[in-house]
Amino acid sequence: EGMCDQYVESFLNGDDSVTQFLDNFMETKKLIATRKFKEERLNFQLNQLKLWIKDELTINRRFLLFQHVSCLR
């Protein structure tokens, strides 16, 4: 976001042309959007993995409990 602000300031000061400003601004916005998407996707995948691990641990605990009860019979 900071880079976009710099591009705006540079354009408003007359340092960059409209074309140069738009190219830089849009490229940076696209990069920011891509990074945000990847971050959200990785967070989703991490949460899915945590749920899977929790389910696996629950299944393993039930199995161990079943084995323990079976041995007591």
pLDDT given for residue 68 in this prediction: 72
pLDDT given for residue 44 in this prediction: 96
- What the block records as the tokens of 69 is 């009860």
pLDDT, tens digit, 9 for 90 and up, residues 40-51: 999 999 999 998
Instruction: Say whether 49 sits in a helix, a strand or coil.
Output: helix
Q: What is the mean pLDDT of residues 17-45?
A: 95
More confident residue, 1 or 33: 33
